[in-house]
Amino acid sequence: MTIPETNPIVVAPTPTPFDSEDRVDHDALARNVERWLETPLSGFVLGTANGEELALSDDEKIGIVETVSQAHGGQRFVIAGIDNPASSETLRLAEAYAKAGADMVRVRIPRPMSPAEVEAYFLKVTSESPVPVVVIHQTFTGVPAAPPELIGDLISLDNVFGYITDHDIRFEGRVRIHAPEHKKFWICNGGLLLAGAAMGANGTCMWLGNIAPGLCRDIMEMGYAGRVVRARPLQMLASRMDGIIGQHGVAGVKAALGLLGYEGTAPRHPQSELERGDVDEIRFVLGEAGLLG
| Buried-state track 152-179, b at ≥16 Cβ within 10 A, e below 16 | bbbbebeebbbbbbbeebebbbebbebb
For residue 275, the number of C-alpha atoms closer than 13 Å in the C-beta half-sphere is: 2
- pLDDT band with cut points at 50, 70 and 90 for residue 293: confident
pLDDT of residue 1: 58
The CB density around residue 238, as the number of other CB atoms within 10 Å, is 25
Q: Cα 276 to the chain's mean position, in Å?
A: 27
Rounded distance between C-alpha atoms, residue 122 and residue 184, angstroms: 17
Q: What is the pLDDT of residues 135-189, one digit of tens each?
A: 999 887 778 999 999 999 999 999 999 999 999 999 999 999 999 999 999 999 9
Contact indicator for 217, 40 with CB cutoff of 8 Å: yes
Q: Is 266 left (phi over 0), alpha (psi -120 to 50) or beta?
A: beta
- Each residue of 65-84: pLDDT tens digit? 999 999 999 999 999 999 99
Radius of gyration for the alpha carbons in the chain, expressed in angstroms and rounded = 18
Q: Verify cis geometry, omega within 30 degrees of 0, for the bond prior to 112.
A: yes
pLDDT at 142: 77
- All domains of the chain in start order, with CATH: 9-227 (3.20.20.70)
If pLDDT is split at 50, 70 and 90, which confidence band does 50 have? confident
4 vs 24 pLDDT, higher one: 24
Q: What is the mean pLDDT of residues 249-264?
A: 96
pLDDT of residue 224: 86
Name the pTM for this structure: 0.96
Distance CA 266, CA 282 (A): 15
Task: Please tell me the number of Cα atoms within 13 Å of 257 on its side-chain side.
Answer: 31
CB 131 within 8 A of CB 105: yes
Region 80-94: mean pLDDT is 97
